[in-house]
Amino acid sequence: MEWLTHSQTGFRQAARYLLGMRLAMITTQLVAIAAAEAIIALTYRAEALLLCLLYGVLAVLGWLWFSRRPPSSATAVSITLAADLLLTGFWLYLTGGYTNPLVSLLLLPIAVAIILVPIRHSIALTLAGIGVYTALVLWHAPVTQGDHHAGHLAELHLVGMWVTFALTAAILLLVVGTLARRLRMQQSQLSKFRENRLRDEQIISLGLSAAAVAHRLGTPLNTMTLLLDEIRGQVDSPDKPELTDDLDLMEQQLNLCSQHLQQLTRAAVEAKTAQVELLPVSVWVARLRESATLLWPAGPIHWPEQNPAATVAIDATLDQAVLNLLANALTASPQWVSVSTRLAEPDRLELIVEDRGNGFETTLQDIPGEAIVDSQNGLGVGLFLSNATIQRLGGHLRARAETTGTTMVIDLPIAGDNPSGVY
């Protein structure tokens, strides 16, 4: 497998645009020679044509080099751009030097260099371009033999200036503009990658802390279970029914803590092995409903009667993320919470959790769950972890806080092609 650096990838992507620039320059040179021959007889027509042919061969070879084995440093790229300046300068030398209206073609390699290579190379190529132009002012071959074509040359020069300006502007727009857009896109992708990496580092630290706490909680839970059994043996149940009820409640809570620790262990194993399952939306919602009923038997949660006929890729951590949102909704609105599903787009599913609580402070620019927040009823990491889990599966978490309550929307991609409808 071929491994490329970031610079090599950029040079490989730029190969096609460099080839397009060079072929456009060669085409312009050939058209200029043909137009000039239609009016006057060029002194070095054959030499100029051979130089265009050589330039075309080198342009194709450069494209093959950059596409198949891109250079690992910017020096090689700068050398090829310097060759562009020299070949273009030599062609201009044969066709009138600085009097040739196509002399502005020298700007194109410099403009590409400003984008592709480091600043010191760009400065060197700019100075080289100025040097080539200066040399063309001092030394150049005459366009024709004799001065009897002076009127035609002046006319050609004026037309050529217009053609050169239009062509240079078009090439700069297509080549330089495209390269600039690709570079901006790469910078945006790198910025998102850095943000995701920082978020993942926070999640890893939270996961390590949770694993350490879970490991330490096992011993006190076992100790409390043993003590509970001893207390039961010493208590006369018929005489103290209230104490018996308290002990039953304590045993129930201890069992619930043990189940949570086991669930945490299973979720860690599934996350480590990246176990993702494909489930129909109706099956997934039914599983969420069962889990929510076990956690909140009397919870006023209204579940959808019908669900879109679609399939989503989920894992155990996504279930826990949805349950975290339900816990927040029940805390804010103990009387009413609603869960619904819908197809937002042909390939996206939305799971909506609504409540009638006071909501949370947010602005239109805030994205819920992008950072750990302070919480009066918990550790303040539930929303953060839920958002991280949803983003890891290709989804997004949105919030809308109003005076009548809060709406949390989980946007997930649909796996596979499924017809729209309901089960």
pLDDT in tens, 363-374: 433 445 444 444
Instruction: Identify the helix (H) or strand (E) that includes residue 409.
Output: strand 405-413
Q: What is the pLDDT of residue 2?
A: 45
Query: Is the residue at 418 inside a domain?
Result: no
Q: In this predicted model, what pLDDT tens digit does every residue of 88-103 receive, in sequence order?
A: 999 999 988 888 888 8
Each residue's pLDDT tens digit, 177-211:
777 777 778 777 777 777 767 666 666 665 656 66
One domain for residues 301 and 225? no
Give the total number of structural domains in the chain: 3
> Residue 325's domain is classified under what CATH number?
3.30.565.10
More confident residue, 241 or 420: 241
Domain boundary at 165, 195, 225, which? 195
Q: Do residue 212 and residue 323 come from a single domain?
A: no
- Boundaries of domain holding 231: 205-273
Same domain, 133 and 62: yes
Between 260 and 113, name the one with better pLDDT. Answer: 113
Distance of CA 86 to the CA centre of its chain: 39
Residue 365: CB atoms within 10 Å: 5
397 pLDDT band, cuts 50/70/90, is confident
> Do 243 and 363 sit in the same domain of this protein?
no
Domain stops at, among 244, 273, 302: 273
| Tens-digit pLDDT profile for residues 289-299 | 988 888 888 88
356 and 283 part of one domain: yes
**Amino acid sitting at position 14:** A
pLDDT of residue 421 exceeding 50? no
- Of the three residues 145, 166, 195, the one that is the final residue of a domain is 195
Residue 113 scores a pLDDT above 80: yes
Asked whether residue 64 is assigned to any structural domain, the reply reads yes
Same domain, 225 and 352: no
Q: Which of 359, 382, 360, 361 is nearest to 371 (CA)?
A: 382
Given a cut of 90, whether residue 304 has pLDDT beyond it is no
224, 85: one domain: no
Q: Is the pLDDT of residue 105 over 50?
A: yes
**What residue type is assigned to position 233 of the chain?**
G
No. of helices (H) and no. of strands (E), the chain: 11, 7
Q: How far is residue 331 from each of residues 358, 387, 408, measured CA to CA in Å?
A: 10, 19, 14
